[in-house]
């Protein structure tokens, strides 16, 4: 059998797409291998969200192409198309983000560009999952929000929700394969709407919770503008839905938020935080922060720090603004100096570290329930689990515990990870 190795860059939606490609290939005459050296074909699933992500993928392609047949898929493939073909004349194929299902013909035909408009992705394929306990399901593709800095709407197309029946079938499959947790993915899951059945996001959560075997449902990302009180209440009221909301703030300055085209203010954002805290005591809120958007002054930046302090995020993903060709922000005047961006990045990192430490330390001595997901990457003799509100806890144990829930007493805490002992 022809061996294929898949390398994935980017977000969880790319992980899901890679699992789907692996499913499509596995159903055909291909063997997916975890050993790149033994593979004849290497598929590189790429991300375009920042220049750094593209640079890493480009150097990966450069190295792999020396002795492999390389196929570039995903967001950078969609963005660069001919540019990639010109840069790497030996490329076997380039596959856009609408065409993962065509991966077999990309390999078989070779030297073909396979792009948007040919076929929309088809879901009824059994994915070849990387994990055994927690499964991702993309419930909607694309994005209509056009935040001024962001390439995603250009490389992923218009927002479109999948039909609920297809999603439920996928959850049932996960349940029968022994999975315990499902994570719904979309750029803006709050606006999920299955046009055929009229079922919205709360409806999808309700229906999904009826499937036995799956004990936890998670989702991301929530756009603050679409996170209504009703939605927060329905999440709070559903026992299987995890009490963790990933709610990207980006900036705490109303002026910058407006330039970013985010459609909310710092006050609205903080009202969402208050509502979540009220409805889900003990729940977690995490965020994305973007520093150095064009025109961001020190005053704007201080406002971001202020909102972060008020919100008390459990964790933040913090990014330096990276201009993306074709987006509105790339053309804006007063791009912020690289050194200043770095300084701001470090400020935010420092603040978040303090906030996270305080939150995590308060867990020492408390009891939590975790789902064991696998061995810890650093201390291989310890097992790792996750709480309902997405805290990582490591405990002594063995691989036989994977996929089970345990009550654990937290004995130590660092910034992001806790240690604990099973309560017998
Ligand atoms: N749909 C999600 C985010 C998807 S991209 C949302 O609306 O929040 C993930 C994160 O990457 C974004 O939240 C943003 O903080 C960051 N990001 C997007 N474009 C970027 C750019 N041009 N430079 C740096 N970071 C960027
Ligand atoms: Fe990008 Fe904004 Fe869409 Fe998120 S909501 S994917 S940041 S355009
Ligand atoms: Fe995800 Fe990167 Fe594409 S963040 S949607 S892989 S541009």
* pLDDT confidence of residue 364: 97
Are 186 and 315 members of one domain?
A: yes
* pLDDT confidence of residue 32: 97
Are 186 and 256 members of one domain?
A: yes
Residue at which a domain ends, from 115, 147, 162: 115
Cross-strand pairs, 43:
6, 71
CATH number at residue 69: 3.40.50.12160
- Ligand 2: residue of 13, 153, 190 to mutate (most ligand atoms within 8 A of CB) is 153
d(CA 44, CA 9): 8
Q: Output the pTM of the full model.
A: 0.95
Q: Which ligand is nearest to the CA of 44?
A: 3
d(CA 363, CA 173): 35
Q: Is 152 in the pocket of ligand 3 (CB under 6 A)?
A: yes
Are 94 and 231 members of one domain?
A: no
Are 71 and 208 members of one domain?
A: no
Domain count, the chain: 3
Are 331 and 415 members of one domain?
A: no
Q: How many residues does the chain have?
A: 424
Are 215 and 83 members of one domain?
A: no
Q: Is residue 66 part of a domain?
A: yes
Q: Are 165 and 139 in contact (CB under 8 A)?
A: no
Are 283 and 315 members of one domain?
A: yes
* pLDDT confidence of residue 112: 67
List the chain pLDDT tens, one digit each, 424 residues: 999 999 999 999 999 999 999 999 999 999 999 999 999 999 999 999 999 999 999 999 999 999 999 999 999 999 998 899 999 999 999 998 988 888 888 898 766 666 655 455 555 678 899 889 999 999 999 999 999 999 999 999 999 999 999 999 999 999 999 999 999 999 999 999 999 999 999 999 999 999 999 999 999 999 999 999 999 999 999 999 999 999 999 999 999 999 999 999 999 999 999 999 999 999 999 999 999 999 999 999 999 999 999 999 999 999 999 999 999 999 999 999 999 999 999 999 999 999 999 999 999 999 999 999 999 999 888 999 999 999 999 999 999 999 999 999 999 998 888 999 999 8
State the distance from the centre of ligand 2 to the C-alpha of 392, rounded, in angstroms: 27
Q: Is 272 in the pocket of ligand 3 (CB under 6 A)?
A: no
Are 345 and 383 members of one domain?
A: no
CATH number at residue 395: 2.40.50.140
How many other CB atoms sit within 10 Å of the CB of residue 58?
18
Q: Is residue 326 part of a domain?
A: yes
CATH number at residue 220: 3.80.30.20
Provide the residue range defining the domain that includes 141. 134-361
Nearest CA to ligand 1 atom 10: 288
State the distance from the centre of ligand 2 to the C-alpha of 250, rounded, in angstroms: 11
Are 270 and 352 members of one domain?
A: yes
State the distance from the centre of ligand 1 to the C-alpha of 49, rounded, in angstroms: 7
Which ligand 1 atom minimizes the distance to the CA of 248? 8
Nearest CA to ligand 2 atom 4: 187
Are 90 and 146 members of one domain?
A: no
* pLDDT confidence of residue 124: 62
Are 195 and 241 members of one domain?
A: yes
Are 223 and 244 members of one domain?
A: yes
Which ligand 3 atom minimizes the distance to the CA of 45? 6
* pLDDT confidence of residue 416: 82
State the distance from the centre of ligand 1 to the C-alpha of 410, rounded, in angstroms: 33
């Amino acid at each position: 059998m022809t061996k294929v190795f898949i390398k994935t860059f980017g977000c969880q939606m790319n992980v899901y797409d890679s699992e789907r490609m692996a499913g499509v290939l596995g159903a055909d005459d291909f063997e997916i291998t975890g050993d790149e050296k033994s593979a004849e074909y290497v598929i590189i699933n790429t991300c375009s969200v920042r220049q750094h992500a593209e640079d890493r993928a480009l150097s990966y392609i450069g190295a792999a192409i020396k002795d492999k047949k390389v196929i570039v898929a995903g967001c950078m493939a969609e963005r660069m198309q001919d540019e990639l073909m010109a840069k790497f004349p030996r490329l076997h194929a380039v596959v856009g983000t609408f065409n993962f299902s065509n991966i077999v013909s990309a390999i078989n035909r070779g030297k073909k560009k396979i792009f948007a408009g040919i076929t929309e992705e088809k879901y009824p394929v059994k994915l070849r999952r990387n994990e055994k306990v927690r499964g991702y399901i993309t419930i909607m593709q694309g994005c209509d929000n056009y935040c001024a800095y962001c390439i995603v709407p250009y490389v992923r197309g218009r927002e479109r929700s999948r039909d609920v029946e297809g999603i439920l079938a996928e959850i049932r499959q996960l349940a029968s394969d022994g999975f315990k947790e499902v994570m719904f993915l979309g750029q803006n899951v709050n606006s999920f709407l299955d046009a055929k059945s009229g079922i919205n996001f709360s409806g999808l959560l309700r229906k999904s919770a009826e499937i036995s075997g799956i004990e936890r449902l998670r989702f991301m990302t929530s756009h603050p503008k679409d996170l209504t009180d009703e939605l927060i209440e329905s999440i709070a009221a559903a026992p299987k839905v995890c009490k963790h909301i990933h709610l990207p703030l980006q900036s705490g300055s109303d002026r910058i938020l407006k330039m970013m085209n985010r459609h909310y203010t710092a006050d609205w954002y903080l009202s969402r935080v208050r509502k979540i805290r009220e409805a889900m005591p003990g729940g977690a809120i995490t965020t994305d922060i973007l520093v150095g958007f064009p025109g961001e002054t020190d005053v704007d930046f201080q406002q971001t720090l202020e909102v972060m302090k008020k919100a008390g995020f459990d964790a933040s993903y913090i990014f330096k603004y990276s201009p993306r060709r074709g987006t509105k922000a790339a053309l804006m005047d007063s791009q912020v100096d690289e050194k200043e961006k770095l300084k701001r990045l470090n400020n935010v990192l420092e603040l978040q570290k303090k906030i996270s430490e305080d939150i995590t330390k308060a867990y020492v001595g408390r009891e939590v329930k975790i789902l064991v997901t696998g061995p810890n990457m650093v201390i291989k003799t310890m097992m790792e689990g996750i709480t309902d509100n997405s805290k990582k806890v490591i405990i002594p144990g063995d691989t036989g515990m994977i996929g089970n829930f345990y009550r654990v007493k937290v004995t130590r805490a660092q910034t992001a990870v806790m240690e604990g002992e099973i309560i017998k």
